[in-house]
Amino acid sequence: MSIMKFALTAQPWTRSALLKQGVMFTKSKRNSTMSKQPSHTANTGKPQRPGPPSIVAADMRIVGDLETEGDAQIDGRIDGDLRTRTVTIGQGATINGSICGDTIKISGTVNGEVRGGTVILTSTAKVIGDIHHKSLSIDAGAFLQGLCKRMVADAPDAPGNSPNLVTHQPEKSGSEPASTTATVTALS
């Protein structure tokens, strides 16, 4: 396990900027001996309870991908992809990249693909991109520009997994302008 020492500010930091500041990433000898001890998970056979969520504060901007095995609360800006177990995108947050997780609750802005087991768009959410989900909830007032695709574990040809198709057919009549009607067809 590494001990990282660096200052967090509202400015975006890149690896080269940190190196220019003389920031070093080092391993602690103390941690290497601790890693030889059995973990709590190995002793009890039960998964460890996750710690507090990782937080990106409203005045923070991250340039690059962010990945955590636990929970995350994003209130700032991320220019990159986000992978986490459970994530809450706050009302003032902006994500410019894809999000992947088990549970994703969006109240802010996402410009990119969203892929999760449970996806929740609150009334203040703005998503520009496709959503791949097992369960999707969209509150009144949420903005979505993209496709929603349900992920199913079974084969798409299995009975009961027939998607509904919407086709648009323009109606033509003499001098009237063309209008569009939608036809919903269930495949068998």
Domain ranges of the chain: 1-39, 51-153
Cα 152 from chain centre: 19
pLDDT of residue 49: 56
111 confidence band (pLDDT: 50, 70, 90): very high
DSSP conformational letter for 99: E
Taking 60 as the threshold, does the pLDDT of residue 165 lie above it?
A: no
Length, in residues, of the chain: 188
- Compute the mean pLDDT over every residue in the chain, rounded to the nearest whole number: 73
Residue 37 makes CB contacts below 8 A (sequence gap 6+) with none
Q: Would the pLDDT of 107 be above 50?
A: yes
Specify the DSSP class assigned to residue 174: T
Nearest to 11 by CA among 57, 72, 68, 70: 57
Give CA–CA dist 132/142, Å, rounded.
17
pTM: 0.58
Is the distance from CB of 145 to CB of 166 less than 8 angstroms?
no
CB 75 within 8 A of CB 92: yes
- Could you give the CA distance from residue 127 to residue 97 in angstroms, rounded to a whole number? 11
